[in-house]
Structure formats: structure tokens, C-alpha cells
Amino acid sequence: MTQVLKIEWLKVKAYRTFWILIGLFTVAGPLLCMAYQSLNRQVSSKLPLFKDPFAFPEVYETTAWLTSYMTPVMGILLIILLTNENNFRTIRQNIIDGWSRDQFILAKFGVMIGMVLYITLLVALTAFVFGAQSGGSPSEGTSMILLSALQSLTYLSIAFFLGTFMKRSGIAIAIYVFYAYVGEFMIAALLDFKVKTHSGAFLPMECTDRLISGGSKIIRQLASRATPPSNTVYALTAVAYILIFCYFSWRKMKKADL
Amino acid sequence: MENNQILSLHQVSKNYGPIQALKEVSFEVPAGSVFGVLGPNGSGKTTLLGIIMDVLKANSGTYQWFGQPPHQDQRKRIGTLLETPNFYHYYSAIRNLEITAAIKGRGTDDIERVLKLTELWERKDSKFSTFSLGMKQRLAIANALLGNPEVLLLDEPTNGLDPAGIAEIRELIRQLGQRGTTVIMASHLLDEVEKVCTHVAILKKGVLLTSGHVDQVLANEDMIEIGAADLSRLEGVLSSLPDVKSIRRHNGSFQVIFTEGRTAEQLNRHCFEQGITLNYLAVKRKSLEARFIELTN
């Protein structure tokens, strides 16, 4: 495993696109938190009804929620890395040169897990920095960091699926971005209000969005017409989607002509 | 070598939907041979090579490398150029070869040698995307040669090369063959194959027409060129022979092919007995091109 990851590192360590997107994500997550904090302070000064979302333990959920808006940037990077291998036909060359298909798949899953770890680390660090300024007990509510990792894995497994099945990176990225920012919100709302209350929660991204609802919690509660599913149901739905997306991606790479 | 046969295929078939790309193809590649896989466009050459490198999946049949069932570690012992040069476009020649070396589990110490051998050392830091077609092909050849593999598998290796480059690659393949490297080469450039190959397999529409040593494939029908002062009389004598397959007039002489293995000596004696004195007699091996066209048409 270490060896295949070292080779994946060789593939990206001098790839400009990789560093630009990593840099964008790294900067944008904390900046978004800073922007939200400024907005929140202004609102709270006039309407002091709510708890400080940047104090421990709420800060874990707030940073996880805000960072999730930037997670599609990492999804885009994953799509680019996967479609590059198809477009340059280097997936074929890697196998020809002596990797098994399983090693290739393992390497790409390794990249995805590495990204999840990086996102989670950034969420944790951001939470610590913002939480330290606002007070509270840092040891409480840390399970939210694990849920954040689950959310990132769900987002990235969708990107993995698209990157594996779509040959053109442009179309795959367009579908991913549209779905992440507009498509799923639209489908979830239609399912919730036109089909069955809370049925929208069983969509791939929505299940973890409702698990880590952060600042959107009040709106969600106001819009709710019945008791929502439990956090366990949300988490299990996310796990099921991760397994489904990863299984179909694995199957494609394992069986297809390259 | 663990086995006398480097590669053996047994009844390999492959379909692309309703199109049968390969039909029960079986042959063996002896160790140390320079083996040409020949066939017109669409005959299944690249499909065949793709299957034995595990980038395409056969519908049925099996193959063995080095006398063993297929395994990824065997491919680390094979230098391969399959169809097109496949590299990371955003990386230089040297970075691309570092990735190949890492996958093959070798050090990077051979990179300089192969880049110099393929005359790319001066451009080692240039991005692959800036390379010309010929340079890309050279880099693919350098990639295949990395680490002195026991077997080279080359699919149309002279694609995109200029005449000097073609001659260099031909000479390189010949030298590698002489040093004991087994070379498996798919090509439609029959002249190239004839110059370097010891063995051939000929495919047409996915069916193996023949395979074996070049001499075996070509030798069963030697051609005798024959000339005399009185050509019309000579033609009459030749036509009366029962085992003549074909007679063709060519530059003031006849090219004759016999169904049985008639020697030049026998033919000379027969003509003399019929009162014809020959002024020209030569035995010519049929060119691979002639044999190829005959088999594939």
C-alpha cells in the first residue's frame, strides 16, 4: 500500500493543478469560517438569541458544515486525477508496466482516503483555532469530526464514481458541481414537499448535509413537517452510498477493457 | 529462463459485441526469438497484445508468460509499447520514466541510458505535451527499454519515426535479438519484419492463418527464376510440367512456383533433356510480403 501511494505521490507532486486546487481548498475553508463569523457577530449584536456557533463544542459542527461547501473542490481534483488516467491512457500503461488492476484501484482509493484525512485535519485545525478564540470545552462534541470525515468520504465517493465512469473531465466536473450545489437541493426539496416528508434525506449528499446541518439547522427545523430520521439513519445511509459508489467504481476498473 | 516458451496462447477469443476480434488463437513464442505478429488493419494484432498485457479481457482461452499463469509481476519483466505512447502530459520525459521505474520496482539509474539511446536526453526536462509524434514514440521505446527487460513487446514501434529513426529501431531490435532478448513485434511493415524477425504469426480477421519460424512459413514455396534464349519454347516446356503451380513472365525470364518441392537442379536437367539450354537460373525465397498477400487475400 505504501509503495502504491508513493507512486501516486510521484504523479501529483509536481502537478500544478493539484497544488492550485489543494491551495484553494486550504485557504477557502478557514476564510469561509471567518466570513461567517463576522456575519454572525453582526447579527448577534442586534439579535442576541443564539449561542456562539464558534464556541466549543458547536464550533466542530460549524466548521464541518462550512468546510463542506468547499469539499467539492477536492471532489473536482479527484475527478481530474481519475479522468487524467483515462484521457492520457496511463491507467493502461500502469497495468502494462506491472501493476495489477487491484493495485491501481487501491492506489486511487488511497488518494481518496488521503483527501478525506486532509479535509478532516483542516476541519479539526480550523475548529481548534476558532474555538480557542471563543471559549468552551474542546473535549466535548469531537465526534462531529468523525461525522465530518464520513461526509467528506460521501462527497468524494460520488466524485470517484463520476471520475471512473465519465471519460471527459469537463462533463464529469459540470455534473458534479451542478449536483452538489443545486441538483440535490432541488431534488431533496421536491421529494420532501411533493412526495414524502424527509424522503429527501436519503439522497447521497443530503444524508450527511442533514447530519451536519450547522447554521442551516434553524431553517431545516422550521421547514420540517414531521420528526426527521435519526443521526444513525443518516450515517447508515451515507455508508450505504459510499459502499455502492466504491463497489461500482471498483467493478468498472476491474472488469473493463482499458 | 524458466521455460523454453516465453509466451503461449491457447484458444484465445475476443468479441467486441457482434464483432469477433480474435477467434481461438493459439501459438507459442520461443525464448530468444524475434517474433513478428502480422496482419492487415483490423486483424486483431493490438487486441491480442492487449489481452496478454491484461488491459483487455479475453472472452475465452488462456495464456501463459514464462510457463506460468498470468501475474502482474511477469509484466515487470516485459518492456511494452502498446498502440500509442501513454504518458502524463504535464510531466517531463524524466518524470514519466521515474513513474515507470517505480511501478516496475527498479531504480532510476537506467533512465539516462535509455534517454540517450533514444536521443531524448537533451529534451529530458521538456514536458511530454511539447513532444512531436516521433519524440513521443521514442519516449515510449525508451520506456519499454527501461531496466533491460527480458522480453520486449512492441506494437508498431516505428510509427511516426523518420527513415533514419526506423533504421535505428530496426538495428536496435536486431541487436537485442542477438543478445538473447525475446522481442514480440506487431507490424504491418512487412519489410521491417522480414529484416529482423526469426518467427512470425499471421492473423486475418481474428483468425491465425499460420505461425512458426520465418523459414518454415516462407520455405514451402520457393520460387525459381529461369531464362533461355527461346522463351516461348521454354514456356511450353514449363507448362507441360505436372507440378507447376504458377508461371509468371518477369523481366525477360519466368518466375515459376511448384506445388511439390522441385529443385533447380531437377528443373535444369529437365529443360536440357527437352533441348533447351538455360541462360539464367536462380532460386528465390518468396518475400514475406508475397506470402502475406497470398495468405490474407
Whether residue B80 sits in one domain with residue B114? yes
Q: Does B98 touch chain A (CB under 8 A)?
A: yes
Tell me the pLDDT band of B224, cut-offs 50, 70 and 90.
confident
Q: Does A143 touch chain B (CB under 8 A)?
A: no
- B123-164 pLDDT, tens digit per residue, is 999 999 999 888 999 999 999 999 999 999 999 888 888 888
* Contact assignment for A88 to B102 by CB distance below 8 Å: no
Q: Does B82 touch chain A (CB under 8 A)?
A: yes
Which of B216, B249, B268 is the C-terminal boundary of a domain? Answer: B216
Q: What share of chain B is helix, strand, coil (3-state, %, to 5)?
A: 35, 30, 35
And the C-alpha cell for B23?
477467434
Highest mean pLDDT among A189-193, B89-93, B258-262: B89-93
B23 backbone dihedrals φ, ψ, rounded to 5°: -130, 105
Tell me the pLDDT band of B241, cut-offs 50, 70 and 90.
confident
- Measure CB to CB from residue B102 to each of A6, A84, A100 and give the nearest one: A6
Scan for cell 463497489, then name that residue: A247
- Cα B266 from chain centre: 34
- Cα A7 from chain centre: 24
What are the domain boundaries of chain A?
Answer: 2-255
CA distances from A216 to A8, A57, A193 (A): 37, 17, 18
Are the C-beta atoms of A203 and A56 separated by less than 8 Å? no
Q: What is the mean pLDDT of chain A?
A: 93
Which of B170, B195, B216 is the C-terminal boundary of a domain? Answer: B216
Which pLDDT score, from 0 to 100, does residue B49 have? 94
A86 against B292, higher pLDDT = A86
**CATH number, domain containing residue B250:** 3.30.70.980
Q: How many Cα atoms occupy the beta-carbon half-sphere of A244 within 13 Å?
A: 11
Cα nearest neighbour of B75 on chain A: A98
* Contact assignment for B72 to A98 by CB distance below 8 Å: yes
> Does ipTM top 0.90?
no
Whether residue B161 sits in one domain with residue B147? yes
Q: Which residues of A touch B149 (CB under 8 A)?
A: none
Confidence check: pLDDT of B2 > 60: no
- The residues facing B25 across adjacent strands are B12
Best A96, A103, A105, A251 member to test B by mutation, with max B CBs in 10 Å, is: A96
Pairing, β B151-155 against β B78-81: parallel
B271 against B189, higher pLDDT = B271
- A21-71 pLDDT, tens digit per residue, is 999 999 999 999 999 999 998 888 887 777 889 999 999 999 999 999 999
Which pLDDT score, from 0 to 100, does residue A164 have? 95
Q: Does B205 touch chain A (CB under 8 A)?
A: no
Tell me the pLDDT band of B173, cut-offs 50, 70 and 90.
confident
Whether residue B156 sits in one domain with residue B249? no
CA distances from B163 to B36, B160, B167, B169 (A): 20, 10, 6, 10
Q: How far is A254 from chain B (nearest CA, A)?
A: 10
And the C-alpha cell for B25?
488463437
Q: Which residues of A touch B98 (CB under 8 A)?
A: 10
Which of B161, B191, B216 is the C-terminal boundary of a domain? Answer: B216
Q: Which residues of B touch A19 (CB under 8 A)?
A: none
Whether residue B206 sits in one domain with residue B94? yes
Whether residue B116 sits in one domain with residue B58? yes
Question: How many separate domains does chain B show?
Answer: 2
Tell me the pLDDT band of B219, cut-offs 50, 70 and 90.
low
Confidence check: pLDDT of B286 > 70: no
Mean pLDDT of A169-186: 96
Q: CA angle, corner B291, sides to B287 and B296, nearest 5?
A: 145
Mean pLDDT of B46-58: 93
The arrangement of strands across the sheet holding B19-30 comes to B19-30, B5-16, B60-65
The residue ranges of DSSP E strands in chain B, in sequence order, are: 5-16, 19-30, 34-38, 60-65, 78-81, 151-155, 182-187, 199-204, 207-213, 223-228, 244-250, 253-258, 278-284
Are the C-beta atoms of B80 and B104 separated by less than 8 Å? no
- Measure CB to CB from residue A257 to each of B57, B75, B86 and give the nearest one: B57
Which pLDDT score, from 0 to 100, does residue A25 have? 97
Whether residue B86 sits in one domain with residue B202? yes
Q: Does B19 touch chain A (CB under 8 A)?
A: no
The most distant pair of C-alpha atoms in chain B lies apart, rounded to whole Å, by: 76
A20 against B242, higher pLDDT = A20
Whether residue B169 sits in one domain with residue B61? yes
Mean pLDDT of A183-209: 92
Mean pLDDT of A124-137: 93
Residues 6+ apart with CB under 8 A from A247: none
Q: Does B293 touch chain A (CB under 8 A)?
A: no
* Contact assignment for A92 to B75 by CB distance below 8 Å: no
d(C-alpha B242, C-alpha B237), whole Å = 11
Best B74, B97, B99, B151 member to test A by mutation, with max A CBs in 10 Å, is: B99
Whether residue B69 sits in one domain with residue B85? yes
- Write the DSSP symbol of residue B286: P
Which pLDDT score, from 0 to 100, does residue A31 have? 96
Which pLDDT score, from 0 to 100, does residue B1 have? 42
Cα nearest neighbour of B49 on chain A: A96
Q: How far is A15 from chain B (nearest CA, A)?
A: 7
Least-confidence region, from A92-96, A128-132, B154-158, B287-291: B287-291
* Contact assignment for B86 to A88 by CB distance below 8 Å: yes
Whether residue B191 sits in one domain with residue B281? no
**CATH number, domain containing residue B169:** 3.40.50.300
Q: Which residues of A touch B105 (CB under 8 A)?
A: 98
Q: Which residues of B touch A104 (CB under 8 A)?
A: none
d(C-alpha A106, C-alpha A4), whole Å = 8
d(C-alpha B38, C-alpha A135), whole Å = 76
Q: Does A98 touch chain B (CB under 8 A)?
A: yes
Whether residue B189 sits in one domain with residue B116? yes
d(C-alpha A59, C-alpha A62), whole Å = 5
Least-confidence region, from A27-31, B35-39, B110-114, B122-126: B35-39
Which pLDDT score, from 0 to 100, does residue B264 have? 84
- Cα B276 from chain centre: 42
- B190-213 pLDDT, tens digit per residue, is 777 777 888 999 898 999 988 888
Ramachandran area for residue A197 (φ above 0: left; ψ -120 to 50: alpha; else beta): beta
Task: Note down the domain range covering B244.
Answer: 220-296
- A84-106 pLDDT, tens digit per residue, is 999 999 999 999 999 999 999 99
* Contact assignment for B103 to A99 by CB distance below 8 Å: yes
Scan for cell 482499458, then name that residue: A258
Outline where chain A has alpha helix (H). Answer: 2-12, 16-46, 58-68, 71-87, 90-97, 101-134, 143-165, 169-178, 184-190, 206-211, 217-223, 231-255
Which pLDDT score, from 0 to 100, does residue A103 have? 94
Q: How far is A47 from chain B (nearest CA, A)?
A: 53
Mean pLDDT of A193-203: 89
Q: Does B129 touch chain A (CB under 8 A)?
A: no
Whether residue B172 sits in one domain with residue B51? yes
Three-state SS at B255? strand
- Write the DSSP symbol of residue A85: H
* Count of CB pairs separated by less than 8 Å, A with B: 73
Which positions 1-30 of A are in contact with B (Cβ < 8 Å)? 3, 6-7, 10-11, 14-17
d(C-alpha B200, C-alpha B34), whole Å = 8
Which pLDDT score, from 0 to 100, does residue B272 have? 92
Whether residue B241 sits in one domain with residue B191? no
Least-confidence region, from A146-155, A207-216, B20-29, B121-130: A207-216
d(C-alpha B219, C-alpha B137), whole Å = 34
Q: Which residues of A touch B82 (CB under 8 A)?
A: 92, 96
Cα nearest neighbour of A17 on chain B: B90
